[in-house]
Structure 1
Amino acid sequence: MRVTQSMLSNNMLRNLNTSYNKMSKLQDQMNSGSLINRPSDDPVIAVKGMGYRVDLDKNAQYQRNINEAHTWVDSTDEALDQVGTSLIRVKELIVQAANDTNTPDERKKIGEEISQIREQFRDLANSKIGDNYIFTGTYTNRPLFSDGTINPEIAGQDGLTKSIDMNVFDGISMKVNTTGVDYFQKVDEFMGQLEGILNNKDITSEEIGAALGAEFENAGGTAKIPALDGLHSTVLTMRAEIGAKQNRLELMQNRLEIQELNVTKQLSENEDTDYAKAITDMTTAESIHQASLSVGAKIIQQTLVDFIR
């Protein structure tokens, strides 16, 4: 086969274009910091990168969920802490009222403070995070107490005892709310009983002191209801459960942070430019390109005059 001048020229131009494209790709890698700038550059790297980014997006969502869960759990713990503090004050008032030196009027004044603390308990039962009530199960848009009683719109409904779960990891969800209807109902019943006792002029110090125990008889004497020590023990148990949730959330958050670092590292190793290698390859490509230009110039410099000499 005869090698013509046009064949030499075309081959040289094609090889020069290939060389330009290679240098352009290396230049893009150094400019962008990424091995690929479009999926077609390397489909394998592109697909793996998409998988890593999906993992990072999921991780970010789980971390947002954990922050929301922390808000729920911390707010619940704060409300129950105030319940415990108020119960301690109730105990002080009961001890004070049980003193035989108190007159009926003095006990009535103590009863007035008990009434205010009872309202405080109802306010705590209606604690909110933003627009969500935290002790009403799945009825987060309605308060637990309304007009001094359990809200009739939700009283007796299954949703009051249902859990609110949040996904905190792949396949792992946590209950972030605390069922409060039974406990706050018992607290309210106890406080109402205590009000009645302190407003009774014929009550004895022993009957007042009975309110300090684990349980005592209701107003009609027909049943036992939780008393101060029982209620305080229950709130401590509830707070212990919340503390366990807080610890688990912190562990899950640490796990997510470690996973985020690992996936970010894998993503970087998958598609970030190795600048030392890219610069070396660029230098080599430029040298080859310059050599190609030099050789090509000598090959195609011939004219018709050169052939007729």
Structure 2
Amino acid sequence: MSLRVTEGSLAQHSLRGLQTASSRLDTLQAKMSSGNQITKPSDDPAGTVQALKLRASLSRMGQYTTNQNFAQGWLSMADSAYSSAVNQVQSARTIVVQGLNSGAMTPEAMSSLADQVDAIRSSLLATANTTYNGRPIFAGTSGSPVAYDSSGNYQGDGGAITRTIGENASIQVNQTGPTAFGAPGSDVFSLLSDIAGALRSGDTSTLSGQLGQVDGALRQLSAAQAAEGAAAARITQAQTTQAANTLTLKTQLSGIQDIDLADMAIQVTTANTNYQAALQTTASIRQLSLLDFLR
């Protein structure tokens, strides 16, 4: 009777060993297949918690990247608009200087200069209504489809559009129409209309004063473009910092969850050998028990 109990105990022990070897082989093969050390939280509870924290940080980094790309695209569009606006206002200034030398010019020639200023005004209004992703960049936070209507009236508001581009780092990406083109009523569009009128009437005295106003409009546009450039530089710096931080986080996460492929291959081979040995041992014990029963 005692012999039968011993054989039963051996069989149970052998089966437990077989199950353990099989479970370890399955676990290692799952890690090998996924490339991850942690295939379920129980594999490494502390590592799982740390990995979740690192993934959350990487997710925030991803949102920062989205915000940085938006800001960069907006500021790039604004820079192009500013450059175009400065060129157009400089062209208007050249016309004003020509008008001031009107002694040798006929009224028809002065009227032609006025027509050119009107054309510049229309083009400048189109520039002031530049959009990014369908949104007028100089209209603040208003829902208006344009920053300025065809008469040159501002349709936007003074709202700031900001984006978070890093840990505790936000940036305003927009500048409103009045900031760039002047306050309503004394903006560059009103100035260009007045210049065209002075040219048609041959009023050089008024034109002389308007030349200084054009220079003031150019300074305002240049200052706004410089502020936009400073914001763009902050974006570039944030992107550089984030690239380094993201690499650090990914390296830390890899150290926690990624397998050493060569070492894992050895472990899988060893586990498979142990499993095959346990399988043969279990099969031998079961055969002995059957022969003993037959005797």
- The TM-score with structure 2 as length reference comes to 0.88
Q: Which amino acid aligns with 2:258?
A: D
Aligned counterpart in structure 1 of residue 130 of structure 2, from 127, 130, 140: 127
| CA displacement, residues 149-193 of structure 1 (integer Å, 9 cap, x when unaligned) | 314x65xxxxx2221101111221110001222542421121122
Structure 1 position 194 matched with structure 2 position 195: yes
Q: Which amino acid aligns with 1:125?
A: A
Aligned counterpart in structure 1 of residue 167 of structure 2, from 167, 170, 193: 170
| CA displacement, residues 214-243 of structure 1 (integer Å, 9 cap, x when unaligned) | xxxxxxxxxxxxx11111111111111111
- Structure 1 unpaired stretches of 5+: 155-159, 214-226
Q: Which residue of 1 aligns with 2:254?
A: 268
Q: Distance in 2 between matches of 1:102 and 1:117?
A: 21
- Contact 2:161/2:174, CA 8 A, preserved across alignment: yes
Q: Distance in 1 between matches of 2:96 and 2:291?
A: 123
Q: Distance in 2 between matches of 1:66 and 1:87?
A: 31
Question: SS where residue 104 of structure 2 aligns?
Answer: coil
Q: Distance in 1 between matches of 2:294 and 2:40?
A: 52
Q: Distance in 2 between matches of 1:82 and 1:108?
A: 25
**1:100-139 residue pairs with structure 2 within 5 A?**
100-139=103-142
Shift of 1:291: 4.3
Q: Distance in 2 between matches of 1:293 and 1:74?
A: 68
- Contact 1:138/1:164, CA 8 A, preserved across alignment: yes
Change (3 A) 1:182 1:274: closer
Q: Distance in 2 between matches of 1:140 and 1:307?
A: 90
RMSD: 2.4
Aligned counterpart in structure 2 of residue 75 of structure 1, from 73, 77, 96: 77
Q: Which residue of 2 aligns with 1:216?
A: none
Structure 1 position 228 matched with structure 2 position 231: no
Q: Which residue of 2 aligns with 1:210?
A: 209
Q: Distance in 2 between matches of 1:294 and 1:129?
A: 71
Q: Which moved more, 1:138-147 or 1:243-252?
A: 138-147
Change (3 A) 1:302 1:243: same
Q: Which amino acid aligns with 2:170?
A: S
Change (3 A) 1:256 1:140: farther
Shift of 1:300: 5.3
| CA displacement, residues 125-147 of structure 1 (integer Å, 9 cap, x when unaligned) | 22111321111111143422224
Change (3 A) 1:111 1:91: same
Q: Which amino acid aligns with 1:240?
A: A
Q: Distance in 1 between matches of 2:268 and 2:148?
A: 73
Q: Which amino acid aligns with 1:90?
A: A
Change (3 A) 1:283 1:142: closer
Q: Distance in 2 between matches of 1:43 and 1:96?
A: 80
- Contact 1:8/1:300, CA 8 A, preserved across alignment: no
Change (3 A) 1:87 1:147: closer
Q: Distance in 2 between matches of 1:261 and 1:102?
A: 67
- Contact 1:65/1:168, CA 8 A, preserved across alignment: yes
Change (3 A) 1:15 1:182: closer
Greater share of helix residues, 1 or 2?
2
Shift of 1:277: 2.1
- Structure 2 unpaired stretches of 5+: none
- Contact 2:7/2:289, CA 8 A, preserved across alignment: no
Q: Distance in 2 between matches of 1:211 and 1:307?
A: 118
Q: Distance in 1 between matches of 2:26 and 2:144?
A: 60
Kindly indicate whether structure 1 or structure 2 has the higher relative contact order, using CA contacts under 8 Å at least 6 residues apart: 2
Change (3 A) 1:13 1:105: same
- Contact 2:141/2:161, CA 8 A, preserved across alignment: yes
Shift of 1:297: 5.6
Q: Which amino acid aligns with 1:234?
A: Q
Residue correspondences, number: 287
- Contact 2:161/2:172, CA 8 A, preserved across alignment: yes
